[in-house]
């Protein structure tokens, strides 16, 4: 049996020139995201490369020897004191179910806490197709705080999850 690449993942925060192409590959691999959503995912890393910290977008990457396995994109919400958004969390589709998503999310929460964030918000779709995503956030300690009905389109609402990070990260 081939070794599980998620067991030996290396985490990094610095940006590489190859990241936009890897992010596109990972986000496309899921089959979940629309063309427009994929372009938004790539725009965020492009914006980060162009403007650095001033972009407001921060990243955490999980790499194997053969390439990027997954990543998160997060940042402070403007005009709030200590609220952060998780803009993206994505894992290469054939690596799902190995705990890498949870590890990326936990490590992201620690980074956000160190940056002064007190709560992390995550938005997702209310559609049944996202049931596993919704369950993942609940298992990771997130609370469903709002449901904006028909937000994305008729029958496709926006769910807003939040986790209070105070004291959550001890390492």
Of 149-168, binders to a copy of itself (CB under 8 A) are 149-154, 160, 162
Q: Shortest approach of a copy of itself to residue 121 CB, angstroms?
A: 8
Residues 6+ apart with CB under 8 A from 2: none
Total interface residues for a copy of itself by CB under 8 A: 26
Q: One symbol per residue from 5 to 34: x for binding a copy of itself (CB under 8 A), - otherwise; what is it?
A: -----------------------------x
Q: Shortest approach of a copy of itself to residue 153 CB, angstroms?
A: 4
CA 5 – CA 20 distance, rounded (Å): 21
Of 107-126, binders to a copy of itself (CB under 8 A) are 118-119, 121
What DSSP character marks residue 146? Answer: E
Contact with a copy of itself (CB under 8 A) among 29, 30, 55, 83: 83
* Beta strands across the sheet bearing 67-76: 10-12, 58-64, 67-76, 83-91, 119-125, 156-164, 143-153
Q: Are 19 and 61 in contact (CB under 8 A)?
A: yes
Q: Shortest approach of a copy of itself to residue 118 CB, angstroms?
A: 8
| Total residue length of the chain | 171
What's the N-to-C CA distance of the chain in angstroms? Answer: 33
Q: How many angstroms from the chain centroid is the CA of residue 55?
A: 17
Contact with a copy of itself (CB under 8 A) among 81, 128, 170, 171: 81
Instruction: Give the residues lining the site for a copy of itself (CB under 8 A).
Output: 34, 36-37, 40, 77-83, 118-119, 121, 145-154, 160, 162
């Amino acid at each position: 049996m081939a070794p599980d690449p998620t067991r030996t993942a290396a985490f990094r925060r610095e940006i590489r020139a190859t990241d936009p192409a890897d992010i596109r590959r990972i986000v496309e691999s899921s089959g979940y995201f629309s063309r427009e959503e994929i372009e938004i995912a790539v725009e965020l890393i492009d914006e980060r490369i162009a403007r650095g910290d001033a972009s407001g977008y921060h990243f955490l990457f999980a790499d194997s020897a053969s390439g990027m396995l997954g990543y998160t994109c997060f940042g402070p919400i403007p005009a709030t004191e200590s609220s952060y958004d998780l803009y993206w969390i994505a894992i290469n589709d054939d690596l799902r179910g190995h705990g890498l998503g949870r590890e990326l999310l936990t490590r992201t929460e620690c980074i956000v806490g160190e940056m002064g964030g007190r709560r992390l918000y995550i938005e997702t779709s209310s559609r049944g197709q996202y049931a596993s995503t919704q369950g993942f956030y609940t298992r990771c300690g997130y609370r469903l705080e709002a449901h904006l009905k028909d937000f994305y389109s008729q029958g496709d609402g926006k769910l807003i999850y939040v986790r209070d990070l105070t004291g959550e990260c001890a390492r």
